[in-house]
Amino acid sequence: MKFSNNNKAITLIALVITIIVLLILAGVAISTLTGDNGILRKAVQAKEETVLAGEIEQLQLLVLEDKKIGKELKQIYFNSAEDTTSIYDTETGETYAGNWYYITPENAQEITLKNSYIVNYETGDVVSYEEGKHRIVDNNLLCIKEGLVYTIDAKNRSTGDNWGDAILHNFNTDDENSGWTENSLSFDGVDDGIEVPDKSDYSNGITIEMYLKLRGQTENQVAQILMMKRTNTANGFFLMMGNVSKSEQSMSNLYRIVSIDIGGVSERFITNTFIEENVPIYISYTYNPNAKDDNGVLYINGEKTETTNLGNVENIMEVQNTNIQIGSDVYITNDDGKDNRYPFKGEIYAARVYNRPLTEQEVKYNYMNTVNN
């Protein structure tokens, strides 16, 4: 039998149609199996839900038996000397801390887990930890802890974090020059400042550290306050920089020169350190009243640069219950009732106070660990 060309064409068309139909059917079958709502996906989801249910049941049994496992979550305080961790829910704004524990497959101890959870051992609530939704906030300090009175490390800080007993004044989140940036606290040079309650004993010495960047100076402003704790010029401690034009330098007001009082203006140490605009600088100053010589030591960027014998820690004890202030002394008034108004303009990455003198090795450790992070 012989086929005509027409028969051959019909046969080829039928074959093509058959192949197309088979491809469509295959596509439908694959979609049914592997799509977002496919059989395989639903099977995977069902398996995951079964695993979650089983793991949650194990955790709830631990709660009933009062067997605490995992990492205890604590409220983050930016001026705390304790290493703490909390978990922040980016969708609801809830912070998990206090009676909550973070349990991962690695720290599950007595049980086997595939997922991570947040468990409240007081209420029995179990929350499945979700990447993206939950954010771990660590207060892993970037510095030596021994003798630490106060610290602010901008790492891990945000406007949503707990400030503890510290008070922030006039920071405006709508102003790009005021408030938290990615890795610093920005001071606008107008009225921003921080107060921290402090009742520490500095009779054995003191260390002041700041990591900062100057953004400029306000017109007619003779100084900028970096850190202070005093009620008048004859007591407490004081870290500042002079702020007048370079051509008008004098011994009392040196252009962006760091000055330090340990015990009042009569003990003022005017350093040779010049602070440049838009250049980060790490300032460390230690004062040891028990040293025979060179009681005060200045370190810049981790390196010992100058020494002095000026200082009197007894005058700090006169203001033991006075707050530490950072970035301004606007909250201390002169005898005539007027505000001093010497606010800092720039970025502060870290600020610390110790109630003892750090060693040179400790200063270097703090500098390297802070700057590298």
Bridge-based pairing of strands 269-274 and 257-262 is: antiparallel
Q: Which amino acid is at 37?
A: N
Q: How many CA atoms lie within 13 A of 98 on its CB side?
A: 5
Cβ-based neighbours of 219, under 8 Å, separated by 6 or more: none
State the average pLDDT for the chain: 83
Q: State the Cα–Cα distance between residues 326 and 345, nearest whole angstrom.
A: 12
Task: Provide φ and ψ at 288, rounded to 5°.
Answer: -115, 105
Summarize pLDDT for 236-287 with one digit per residue, the tens. 999 999 865 555 545 444 568 899 999 999 999 999 998 989 999 999 999 9
Q: What percent of the chain has pLDDT over 90?
A: 39
pTM (two decimals): 0.72
8 A C-beta contact, residue 297 and residue 304: yes
Contact between 301 and 281 under an 8 Å Cβ cutoff? The reply is yes
Question: Is it the case that residue 368 has pLDDT exceeding 90?
Answer: yes
Q: Which of 8-22, 27-41, 96-110 has the lowest mean pLDDT?
A: 27-41
217 pLDDT band (50/70/90 cuts)? confident
287, 285, 263: which is closest to 273 by C-alpha?
285
Tens of pLDDT along 300-313? 999 999 999 999 99
User: How is residue 204 written in tokens?
Assistant: 């054995």
Question: Within a 10 A sphere around the Cβ of 239, how many other Cβ atoms?
Answer: 22
User: 238: Cβ–Cβ under 8 A, 6 or more apart, which residues?
Assistant: 225, 227, 228, 229, 230, 259, 260, 261, 265, 268
Mean pLDDT, rounded, for 16-28: 76
Residue 304: predicted pLDDT: 97
Query: 327 in the Ramachandran plot: left (φ > 0), alpha (ψ -120 to 50) or beta?
Result: left
Rounded CA-CA distance 371/190 in Å is 27
Which among 238, 232, 202, 204 has a CA at the least distance from the CA of 324? 238
Sign, Cα dihedral of 101, 107, 111, 112: positive
How crowded is the C-beta side of 361, counted as CA atoms within 13 Å? 0
- CATH top-level class of 148-372: mainly beta
Task: Please tell me the predicted confidence (pLDDT) of residue 252.
Answer: 46
Domain ranges of the chain: 5-62, 63-140, 148-372
